[in-house]
Amino acid sequence: MSTRRIVATAIVATAFLTWSASAWGAQPVIYVAPAPPQGGAVGLYVPGAGGRISREDAIESLRRGKVENSLLGGRPHGKVLADIRFGAPPTATRPVVVVTLPPPGEHPNTKRYAVAIEGAGFHGILTSDSTRIDGLVSIPDITQAAVALAQHGRPDIRGVQGTVGDLVKLDRRLTRVHRDRGWILASVALLLFALVVVLPRAAVVAGAAAVVVALWLAWTETTRFWEVLAWMILGTLAIAFLASLRRRAVPYFVAAFFAAFLLVFTLAPDTNALAVLGPRPDGGGRFFGVTNQVETLVLAPLIAAIAIGGLPWFVPLGALALVTVGWSKAGADGGGLIVFAAALAVLLLRLRPAPLTWRRTAVTAGCVVVLVLALVGLDALLGGSDHVTRAVGTGPGSLLGDLGHRIHLSWALATKSSYTVVLFVASLAVLVWIATRTPRRPAVDAMLVALTVSLIVNDTPVDVIGLGVLGCLALWRYESVDSRPMRWGALTAVCAAAATLVLAGCGKQGVTQPKPTTVVGTVAQAAPGKAIFSTQGCGACHTYQPAGQEANGTIGPDLDKLADYAKKANQPLEAFTHESIVDPNKYVEKGYPKNVMPKSYESLPPKDLKDLVDFLSKPQG
């Protein structure tokens, strides 16, 4: 072979090997430009997760296609998927991914940075299914796009109609929502506490009412602080008051809320994403769906609705809530799915007339696990994807690893400052105090179990326990005290919650009253049953003249007509009264629903139960 032919063969072979290396072996490249790119499709991205970010952490996140919370170091580890190159990309290299980076050093995570994809037919502004916000993408989206384009594949990012002006408007809106969010949450917590004290009937639905107002403000793009604050307080108060005017209307309101919430998730996810109560896309951790904060706010209304409506509401309302929260095309909150399922399981156990046993409890817990796995599997089968479907789909090891990571992050969040430690511990103390109260209330038990599960499977413990203690107090006050003046025990609990939330000046009622020991001691001398009637809160639901002006409730039957009811039931008055206390669903007066009166009074001490029956069935002089 001639020298000329050998040289030509070597050149061809070298060119082929170079092309093969570039086509198959080289790393995809993300270019870093000093100024926002002008061509192709443009968008914004959040450079990290958590309260702080740095240029170095953003680079490592872009190289690996994943983000780590700043409380856990901020810098992810794992396989490198793309190279980072500084400077403008070569003119002949298309398509390309170009980004701008934060300046050197560490900064608050309050600013978005530009990203562009040039070539491959990209125009307009960028979006993806991982954010569901036109104009905003995530770091994993950017890395996946670079890899897909290098391999001639299809990126998850896509271009939609829009201009740079739309990005400026989005960035301004994200800034304003970030500014408003902390004050609005504190105001909602203060309002919830005030309603717990003076109007517990409205307090149990106030969390859902607050979410409704937040969604409406996002839909109307209202972002001025004082307008948002006024609407959140007055709108929440008005909706909660109207929705709770009639006890029987509460299940209908809650069902309508979850149905509307589901529609917002599926038809206008950006409305929820940009609400002051909702995801925090500006923080880079979650861009859409139900957050732990919202999950906890709407938990008490769901529990109250089923406790009021009874078992007929259990399946339709429970199924609607689980789909809204857990479906990856809607709330996409796998942890919330587990929490809601646990709450529903406790309600099912407590509302059914069968006695509560360890066997029934274990079987129900097993059914909850099977139900959650079935729903997650069905969601994955239909094409859904979130962190829970991915973790379950890859086996128990991945699931336990995901749980361990969340517990690690929860610990970091709960202990990041002395304020969060005090808030968490004090809230926990209030919840333990409520858990020791008797008689046991189904709604309160369901809330306590759900909060316990939430603290295990979710990663924002301060939000969960801070808002959870308000929801639990609302359910406890509603079931045990309702519209009667607050007793000193209840006042102690809500004042502790107020101190916990650092809501100064909201710990007193405007009406003073004697301590329960004084009341019980006074009336017990004349009629022991009257003291029990008073301390058990019977007058909140029933009218009974011998009990005094305090007994003027209209939720349950008029007890002054108890003898007439006994005649209708063909029973002696004393036996009928005893049976109606320990088994309230056995005979229900026409015009009143079942499952309203708690079944827990059968656990009263025998002497107290006899004194109460005597007070109701024997003449009082």
Task: Map 307-368 to HEC letters.
Answer: HHHCHHHHHHHHHHHHHHHHCCCCCCCHHHHHHHHHHHHHHHHHHCCCCCCHHHHHHHHHHH
Q: Please, how many CA atoms are within 13 Å of residue 296, restricted to the half-sphere of its CB?
A: 30
What pLDDT is stored for residue 206 in this prediction?
Answer: 96
Task: Single out the residue in 467, 500, 533 at which a domain terminates.
Answer: 500
One domain, residues 343 and 489: yes
**Does residue 254 lie in a domain region?**
yes
**Does residue 507 lie in a domain region?**
no
For residue range 421-458, list pLDDT tens digits in order. 998 899 999 999 999 987 778 899 999 999 999 998 88
Task: Map 23-64 to HEC letters.
Answer: HHHCCCEEEECCCCCCCCEEEEECCCECCEEEHHHHHHHHHH
User: Which CATH number does the domain housing residue 595 bear?
Assistant: 1.10.760.10
Task: Map 416-444 to HEC letters.
Answer: CCHHHHHHHHHHHHHHHHHHCCCCCCHHH
**Number of neighbours of residue 358 by Cβ within 10 angstroms:** 7
| Token pair in block for residue 351 | 């509302």
- What number is the average pLDDT over the span 549-558? 74
| Token pair in block for residue 239 | 């909706």
- How confident is residue 271, by pLDDT bands cut at 50, 70 and 90? very high
Kind of pairing between the strands at 41-45 and 136-137 = parallel
- What number is the average pLDDT over the span 328-346? 89
- What number is the average pLDDT over the span 199-220? 95
What pLDDT is stored for residue 523 in this prediction?
Answer: 37
- How confident is residue 356, by pLDDT bands cut at 50, 70 and 90? low
One domain, residues 423 and 407: yes
Task: Single out the residue in 473, 500, 527 at which a domain terminates.
Answer: 500
**Does residue 146 lie in a domain region?**
yes
Task: Single out the residue in 94, 129, 162 at which a domain terminates.
Answer: 162
Tally of domains within the chain: 3
- Three-state DSSP state, 383: coil
One domain, residues 461 and 559: no
One domain, residues 487 and 586: no
One domain, residues 230 and 269: yes
What pLDDT is stored for residue 119 in this prediction?
Answer: 85
One domain, residues 420 and 546: no
One domain, residues 207 and 232: yes
Share of the chain above pLDDT 70, in %: 79
One domain, residues 248 and 310: yes
- How confident is residue 374, by pLDDT bands cut at 50, 70 and 90? confident
Partners of residue 49 on adjacent β-strands: 69
Query: Which tops the pLDDT comparison, 370 or 54?
Result: 54
**Does residue 327 lie in a domain region?**
yes
Rounded Cα gap, residues 243 and 478, in angstroms? 14
Rounded Cα gap, residues 520 and 529, in angstroms? 10
- How confident is residue 187, by pLDDT bands cut at 50, 70 and 90? very high
**Does residue 510 lie in a domain region?**
no
- Express the helix, strand and coil content of the chain in percent, nearest 5 each: 60, 5, 30
User: Where in the sequence is the domain holding 544, given as residue range(s)?
Assistant: 516-617
For residue range 106-138, list pLDDT tens digits in order. 889 889 999 999 888 899 999 999 899 999 999
**Does residue 77 lie in a domain region?**
yes
- What number is the average pLDDT over the span 22-46? 78
Residue with tokens 């000193």: 488
- What number is the average pLDDT over the span 518-546? 65
Partners of residue 137 on adjacent β-strands: 45
Q: Are 443 and 299 in contact (CB under 8 A)?
A: no
Looking at every residue in the chain, the average pLDDT score rounds to: 81
One domain, residues 11 and 54: yes
What pLDDT is stored for residue 519 in this prediction?
Answer: 38
Rounded Cα gap, residues 217 and 222, in angstroms? 5
Q: Does residue 174 carry a pLDDT above 90?
A: yes
One domain, residues 206 and 227: yes
One domain, residues 56 and 106: yes
DSSP H or E run through 201: helix 200-219
Q: Where are the alpha helices (DSSP H) in 126-224?
A: 139-150, 164-198, 200-219
Q: Are 292 and 458 in contact (CB under 8 A)?
A: yes
- How confident is residue 370, by pLDDT bands cut at 50, 70 and 90? confident
**What does R_g of the chain's alpha carbons equal in angstroms?**
30
One domain, residues 93 and 234: no
Kind of pairing between the strands at 52-54 and 106-108 = antiparallel
**Does residue 511 lie in a domain region?**
no
For residue range 59-90, list pLDDT tens digits in order. 999 999 999 887 777 788 889 999 999 988 87
- How confident is residue 591, by pLDDT bands cut at 50, 70 and 90? confident
**Does residue 90 lie in a domain region?**
yes
